Homo-oligomer: A and B are copies of this chain.
Amino acid sequence: MQSLSTVMENHKNPVEMLRNSKIGMYVYPVVTPEFRNWRVEQEAWRKTAVLFDQSHHMDELIVEGPDAEKFLSHHGVNAFGNFGLNRAKHFVPVTPAGHVIGDHIIFREREDKFILVGRAPVSNWLQFCAAWGKWNVRIKHDPRSTSRPEGERVLRTHYRFQIQGPDAPKVFEKMNGGPVPDIPFFHVDTVSIGSKKVQALRHGMSGAPGLEVWGPYDDKHYIHSTILQAASDAGVDLVQCGSRAYSTNTLESGWIPSPLPGIYTGDGMLADYRDWLGADSYEAAGAIGGSFVSDDIEDYYVNPFELGYGFYIGWKKDDFIGKDALAAMKDAPSNRKKVTFEWNKEDVLKVIASAFEEGTPYKWIDFPQPNYASSTADMVMSGDKMVGMSMFNGYSFNERCMLSLGVVSQDVQEGDVLTLRWGESDDTAKTSAEKHKQAEIRVRVSPTPYAKEARESYADSWRSR
């Protein structure tokens, strides 16, 4: 049977394999591209209120059984001591070598039942680990919706909606038929939506107060229409956010959704994992896009300290995968730090202008979401020296600029102006990019999260660390 291992054997190295993937861009599927238009949809999460339909773009994993807590605690870096039924966590598994595999939001539904939501690398890894370690857990995997349904019906286990923005509380109160419990950030409680009791996570992806609610997919239409009616009754112009604007909210709030899973190297458990992963898995079929080209796939990996997740590592846990490696990495001067890159306007316009000239243009910057692969790696230079990697790009109508999230060397300071190399130096087989030449775009190193609102309201969260 074809596996990641057998696919890798047919390529010079994993970088060459992933840079030449033909899978196309990473799609936010099923949800309408624009309900109004992506500018006002972005504006709504800052100024009024927005409704995200998150039912389709993430894997969901249900982990239950006598070993569920022990299993998850062993495979995530997070402290689990304070993980009551009313809490959610930002769950981060790493490899034995300490490289980030990905991240999920994890909810505890019962003592012995957890729901995890996020990209495929974590769901794949946990399914493997459960079998590999012979854990007494039962796992149900509901993969993300197909990228191209083309009119066929799409079903999920759960619907998932998020309501965000300064006017969101008025909607909550109306749909709940009275004041909503004061749920602390990343805690869970129950609210009413019409005649249904639903679980609600206090969240804030776009930097303003928000709730994420979920339940059986069968209830989706009822919940959706009840939320819209509640907004209307509350006099709130609740803007439905389409898939074009959706992924750009993270640029203002500072979460990097797409680190490359650090699973292409390492032996033992990781070699077994690569034999286990199918040839059509995210890891085997996904793509790396961007100007950074190294023969060593490990140059694309990140560790939890670099993404700002260091502070919730559960050092007191007896053991968890990657603990020793992380202990050695802690405070290493080679660890980079997460920043926002603010792109220079003139340089962005120079790139766009090339689409109006004869000859090979610069890589088109598609608005508002110019990423052209499941993982992005653009070189960020200080003179001739690479001092950072840009990992997720997008335009913010709220900030009136192009932003990207990434990591830089410790010695880079906020306010430094660096150069991002935009576009690829060679022609890859990627279908998501047209033939282009490389451009240099000046970027100013800026705080993460970039949005003033997010910086202030996430004061206690990982995003601002």
Contact = CB atoms under 8 A, between A and B. Distances in A.
B151 A431 contact: no
A37 B150 contact: no
Given A36-B431, A431-B40, A434-B37, A355 B400 contact: yes
A25 B30 contact: no
B151 A145 contact: yes
6 contacts: A32-B148, A33-B33, A35-B148, A53-B150, A55-B151, A356-B400
A52 to B, nearest CB: 13
A301 B25 CA distance: 41
A25 B31 contact: no
Contacts of A37: 25, 364, 366, 372, 431-434
Nearest to A434: B39
Given A36-B432, A352-B349, A432-B37, A31 B150 contact: yes
Contacts of A148: 32, 35
Contacts of A372: 37
A401 interface: yes
A25 to B, nearest CB: 7
B150 A153 contact: no
A173 interface: no
A180 interface: no
Interface string A340-369: 000001001100110111100100101100
A358 B434 CA distance: 31
Q: How many copies does the complex hold?
A: 2
A220 to B, nearest CB: 9
Interface residues of A, number: 49
B431 A397 contact: no
Contacts of A36: 24, 431-432
Contacts of A43: 434
Contacts of A152: 153
B151 A154 contact: yes
Nearest to A39: B434
A34 interface: yes
Interface in A374-405: 395, 397, 400-401
Interface of A: 24-25, 27, 30-37, 39-40, 43, 53, 55-56, 145, 147-155, 345, 348-349, 352-353, 355-358, 361, 364, 366-367, 372, 395, 397, 400-401, 431-434
Contacts of A53: 150
Contact of A345 (B147, B356, B367, B431): B356
A227 B225 CA distance: 41
A75 to B, nearest CB: 31
Taking each of A147, A366, A401, which has the highest tally of chain B beta carbons within 10 Å of its own beta carbon?
Answer: A366
A221 to B, nearest CB: 9
A400 B153 contact: no
B151 A151 contact: no
A90 B433 CA distance: 37
A35 B431 CA distance: 8
A338 B423 CA distance: 39
A358 B150 contact: no
Nearest to A153: B153
Nearest to A402: B356
A355 B402 CA distance: 10
A148 B35 CA distance: 9
A25 B32 contact: no
Nearest to A30: B151
Q: Which 3 A-B pairs have the closest CB atoms?
A: A151-B154, A36-B431, A153-B153
A357 B400 contact: yes
